[in-house]
Amino acid sequence: MACNLSDSQIAEAYSQVLSNDGIDWMVIGYGSTRDRLSLYASGDGGVTEMALHVPDEVVFCFISFEGSRVLVTHVAEKISGVQRARGLAHQKEVAGFFNHHDVTVNTAKPSELTPTMLRDKTRHLAIKKSK
């Protein structure tokens, strides 16, 4: 079960996040499709702003946070088992596309996406970088 990441806006936003070129986060999702991902939103307001753009569905987020790059797989609590399975099956393919991430995080509620949570998940990376 492959997913389609061919939307040029996804690649463009990803490149901008990697190069710190005006945006620091992006959210992609399925919309009304089963396997075609598209760019939902991007911005420069950090994780707090990004969380405002995470809907109650399966989405993937990529964010540059305090020197680390984080891939978030968000699988909302309210979705069907089929949607959940599809999102989790596509997680590896999406991670391969966003191959410059340092850590992967899973969430079920947008409220879980906070600076504190990301700091906790990336703390070990900061320790490695300082050695």
pLDDT tens per residue, range 75-131: 999 999 999 999 889 999 999 999 999 999 999 999 999 999 999 999 877 555 554
The pLDDT of residue 1 is 65
Percentage of residues in the chain with pLDDT exceeding 70? 95
Structure tokens at 30: 């399925």
CATH 3.40.50.2300 corresponds to the domain 8-130? no
Q: Report d(CA 5, CA 29) in Å as an integer.
A: 10
Kindly list the domain boundaries of the chain, sorted by start residue.
8-130
Q: Reduced to 3 states, what is the DSSP secondary structure of residue 33?
A: coil
Q: Report d(CA 6, CA 10) in Å as an integer.
A: 8
107 close to 120: Cβ distance less than 8 angstroms: no
